[in-house]
Protein backbone atom coordinates (compact mmCIF):
# COMPACT_ATOMS: atom_id res chain seq x y z
CA UNK A 1 0.00 0.00 0.00
CA UNK A 2 1.24 3.48 -0.82
CA UNK A 3 2.57 5.38 2.14
CA UNK A 4 1.26 8.83 2.87
CA UNK A 5 2.96 11.23 0.52
CA UNK A 6 4.01 8.62 -2.04
CA UNK A 7 4.08 9.94 -5.57
CA UNK A 8 5.68 9.40 -8.94
CA UNK A 9 7.62 6.18 -9.36
CA UNK A 10 7.02 5.11 -5.74
CA UNK A 11 3.25 5.46 -6.09
CA UNK A 12 3.21 3.64 -9.43
CA UNK A 13 5.27 0.82 -7.90
CA UNK A 14 2.85 0.55 -4.97
CA UNK A 15 -0.11 0.29 -7.36
CA UNK A 16 1.67 -2.21 -9.60
CA UNK A 17 2.51 -4.44 -6.63
CA UNK A 18 -1.19 -4.94 -5.87
CA UNK A 19 -3.22 -7.87 -7.18
CA UNK A 20 -6.39 -5.79 -7.30
CA UNK A 21 -7.39 -2.23 -6.40
CA UNK A 22 -10.50 -2.13 -4.23
CA UNK A 23 -12.57 1.04 -4.53
CA UNK A 24 -14.99 0.70 -1.59
CA UNK A 25 -16.88 3.97 -1.93
CA UNK A 26 -20.55 4.17 -2.83
CA UNK A 27 -20.55 7.98 -2.91
CA UNK A 28 -17.32 9.16 -4.56
CA UNK A 29 -18.36 10.73 -7.84
CA UNK A 30 -15.34 9.82 -9.98
CA UNK A 31 -12.41 8.11 -8.34
CA UNK A 32 -9.27 9.17 -10.19
CA UNK A 33 -7.41 6.52 -8.18
CA UNK A 34 -9.18 3.83 -10.23
CA UNK A 35 -7.64 5.23 -13.41
CA UNK A 36 -4.23 5.43 -11.73
CA UNK A 37 -4.49 1.78 -10.69
CA UNK A 38 -5.63 0.70 -14.16
CA UNK A 39 -2.76 2.59 -15.81
CA UNK A 40 -0.40 0.57 -13.61
CA UNK A 41 -1.98 -2.67 -14.80
CA UNK A 42 -4.10 -3.32 -11.72
CA UNK A 43 -7.74 -4.43 -12.12
CA UNK A 44 -10.37 -2.65 -10.03
CA UNK A 45 -13.12 -4.04 -7.81
CA UNK A 46 -15.94 -1.67 -6.91
CA UNK A 47 -19.61 -1.27 -6.19
CA UNK A 48 -21.79 -0.65 -9.28
CA UNK A 49 -22.43 3.03 -8.57
CA UNK A 50 -21.74 6.38 -10.22
CA UNK A 51 -18.02 6.73 -10.69
CA UNK A 52 -17.02 3.10 -11.20
CA UNK A 53 -19.80 2.52 -13.77
CA UNK A 54 -18.51 5.55 -15.68
CA UNK A 55 -14.92 4.27 -15.79
CA UNK A 56 -14.86 0.48 -15.61
CA UNK A 57 -15.82 -2.20 -18.09
CA UNK A 58 -15.84 -5.99 -17.78
CA UNK A 59 -12.34 -6.33 -19.26
CA UNK A 60 -10.58 -4.23 -16.62
CA UNK A 61 -12.70 -4.37 -13.51
CA UNK A 62 -15.56 -5.97 -11.69
CA UNK A 63 -18.51 -4.37 -9.97
CA UNK A 64 -20.92 -6.04 -7.58
CA UNK A 65 -23.03 -5.11 -4.57
CA UNK A 66 -21.02 -7.83 -2.82
CA UNK A 67 -17.52 -6.34 -2.78
CA UNK A 68 -15.98 -9.76 -2.05
CA UNK A 69 -17.53 -11.08 -5.28
CA UNK A 70 -16.21 -8.04 -7.18
CA UNK A 71 -12.72 -8.67 -5.80
CA UNK A 72 -12.78 -12.34 -6.82
CA UNK A 73 -13.91 -11.42 -10.32
CA UNK A 74 -11.37 -8.58 -10.67
CA UNK A 75 -8.57 -11.01 -9.86
CA UNK A 76 -9.31 -12.78 -13.15
CA UNK A 77 -8.84 -9.67 -15.31
CA UNK A 78 -5.88 -9.31 -17.68
CA UNK A 79 -3.33 -6.83 -16.32
CA UNK A 80 -2.08 -5.83 -19.78
CA UNK A 81 -5.64 -4.93 -20.79
CA UNK A 82 -5.98 -2.87 -17.60
CA UNK A 83 -2.78 -0.95 -18.35
CA UNK A 84 -3.73 -0.26 -21.97
CA UNK A 85 -7.21 0.91 -20.96
CA UNK A 86 -6.00 3.07 -18.07
CA UNK A 87 -3.34 4.75 -20.18
CA UNK A 88 -6.06 5.90 -22.57
CA UNK A 89 -7.30 8.46 -20.04
CA UNK A 90 -5.12 11.32 -21.30
CA UNK A 91 -5.53 15.08 -21.20
CA UNK A 92 -6.01 14.97 -24.97
CA UNK A 93 -8.78 12.38 -24.68
CA UNK A 94 -10.42 14.39 -21.89
CA UNK A 95 -10.33 17.59 -23.95
CA UNK A 96 -11.71 15.74 -26.99
CA UNK A 97 -14.59 14.36 -24.92
CA UNK A 98 -15.34 17.80 -23.50
CA UNK A 99 -15.29 19.48 -26.90
CA UNK A 100 -17.53 16.83 -28.43
CA UNK A 101 -20.13 17.54 -25.73
CA UNK A 102 -20.34 21.26 -26.50
CA UNK A 103 -23.47 22.46 -28.24
CA UNK A 104 -23.22 25.54 -30.47
CA UNK A 105 -25.49 28.41 -29.50
CA UNK A 106 -26.76 30.79 -32.16
CA UNK A 107 -25.59 34.38 -31.73
CA UNK A 108 -29.15 35.66 -31.38
CA UNK A 109 -29.89 33.17 -28.59
CA UNK A 110 -26.72 34.15 -26.74
CA UNK A 111 -27.51 37.85 -27.01
CA UNK A 112 -31.06 37.31 -25.71
CA UNK A 113 -29.85 35.52 -22.61
Question: Region 91-112: what's the mean pLDDT?
Answer: 80
Chain CA centroid to CA 20, Å: 13
CATH number for the domain running over 8-88: 3.40.50.2000
Tell me the pLDDT band of 93, cut-offs 50, 70 and 90: very high
Helix (H, G, I), strand (E, B) or coil at 23: strand
Percent of the chain with pLDDT over 90: 65
Question: Region 7-32: what's the mean pLDDT?
Answer: 87
Contact between residue 40 and residue 10 where contact means Cβ atoms under 8 Å apart: no
110 Cβ neighbours under 8 A, 6+ residues apart: none
Q: Edge to edge, what strands does the sheet with 61-63 contain? A: 21-23, 44-46, 61-63
Rounded CA-CA distance 87/37 in Å is: 10
pLDDT of 45 > 80? The answer is yes
Amino acid sequence: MASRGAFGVDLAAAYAAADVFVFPSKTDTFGLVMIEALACGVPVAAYPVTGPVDILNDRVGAMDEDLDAAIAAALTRDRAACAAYGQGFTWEASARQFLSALVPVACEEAMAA
